Amino acid sequence: MRHSLIVIAIAFCLGSANWAQIASADGADQSAAVEFAQEAVPRALNYDQGKRESLTDAQQDFTPDGWREFMKWLTGYVDDKGAPTGSSLFTATGD
């Protein structure tokens, strides 16, 4: 259930320098937005216990505000150094 909430949060928070342009573009460019999300969501939700870099490698996919919001969702699931206190593996069940 926690992953469902995180996926929803990611849908609102993900971004890059080009995200606004991609999201408002025509059908061809919308496929680029879908591809971005299909790569970014697993990157954000796949991390290893005790390995901060396994979590922060997804930071580039977020806007600064989105990253702060995402990290708020993980409050209680990261230690005082920002490393995950557990592991997570996200596997999409379809497109």
> Could you read off the pLDDT of 27-76 as tens digits, one per residue?
768 888 889 989 999 999 999 999 999 999 999 999 999 999 999 999 99
How many residues can be counted in the chain?
Answer: 95
Residue 52 burial by Cβ neighbours in a 10 Å radius (0-12, 13-18, 19+): middle
**Which helix (H) or strand (E) is 5 found in, with range?**
helix 2-13
- Cα–Cα distance, 16 to 48 (Å, whole number): 24
Q: According to the model, what pLDDT value does residue 24 have?
A: 56
- End-to-end CA, the chain: 19
Name the amino acid, one letter, at 71.
M
- Residue 29 is predicted with a pLDDT of 80
Decide if pLDDT at 4 tops 80.
no
Per the model's pLDDT, the better-predicted residue between 33 and 83 turns out to be 83
